Structure 1
């Protein structure tokens, strides 16, 4: 089922904005996570982790899910299809993977923000979780850059389903 041109453009804009917005938000989160890991000031560290949790919960999570939903709408309502091209399928799987990992990390991010809000929090507390934020944010950034690259390059290659659909037409 094809979307009317105006609706297609609106969903495309929404998809681009949410995808690029999540990319920028992850860069900001990564900057906060690196600052929290590398600072010597306990006060700065406490502030950074509280801010990082706010960015993750209020910006990154909604944008990643908006990107997923608008991407699904775009693929189902255009000739690209959801299962016809490898690059669309790869983007879908990478976005789902990103959303799952993000949701799994949210409990740790929330816990770290709650612990960091305590004035007794110091740079020696929870080093593994603090490093994990940097590693996961960097990994998320790489995945988002890959999905952006796939969107721009649109590498050729039809799936088996795509070939069958093409030959039926």
Structure 2
């Protein structure tokens, strides 16, 4: 349940970020664009980053204590790679959000940017792919899974 809660929290925070990014993209008022850019950074640090790290950590723990294992099945391994990639991109992208927030806070004119919309939309797609993998659990055991003795979850 902790993994599902963390993942849904991450999904919700991304959805909020996407909605705000779209508002900034279509707004004609520089004050609205600046306000959105000032909000995206704290939203990232307060919700996106903690939920993403919690989803990664709980997923790893859950896989290690379950029969699925961490690297035994392709669907679990793919979810791990997707999640780790998403967290890494998010942590790097937080620098961009900080830069946009600094420009907006300085009172400079902030132009609409497609970047926050694209990053949030890509993150939603990433989490939807992870969801599909979790629900359908495509068959396939990795080379490490074939080497593991029965009953041991690696």
Q: TM-score, normalised by structure 1?
A: 0.84
Matched, 1:163 2:146: yes
CA distance in 1, matches of 2:76, 2:38: 36
CA distance in 1, matches of 2:49, 2:119: 14
CA distance in 2, matches of 1:43, 1:146: 36
Change (3 A) 1:32 1:164: same
1:168 Cα deviation after fit: 9.1
CA distance in 1, matches of 2:108, 2:144: 58
Gaps of 5+ in 2: none
**What's the counterpart of residue 133 of structure 1?**
116
Contact 2:79–2:130 at 8 Å: present in 1 too?
yes
Matched, 1:68 2:56: yes
CA distance in 1, matches of 2:34, 2:94: 17
1:166 Cα deviation after fit: 5.4
Deviations 1:102-128 (A, max 9, x none): 1111101011011112333243xxx5x
Structure 1 counterpart SS, 2:70? coil
What is the CA RMSD across the aligned residues, in angstroms? 1.7
Partner of residue 128 from structure 2, selected from 136, 145, 158? 145
CA distance in 1, matches of 2:110, 2:76: 45
Contact 2:86–2:123 at 8 Å: present in 1 too?
yes
Give the 5 Å matches for 1:67-106.
67-106=55-94
Structure 2 counterpart SS, 1:79? coil
Tell me how many residue pairs correspond in the alignment. Answer: 152
Q: TM-score, normalised by structure 2?
A: 0.92
Gaps of 5+ in 1: 1-12
Contact 2:30–2:109 at 8 Å: present in 1 too?
yes
Deviations 1:56-88 (A, max 9, x none): 111000000000000010011111100110000
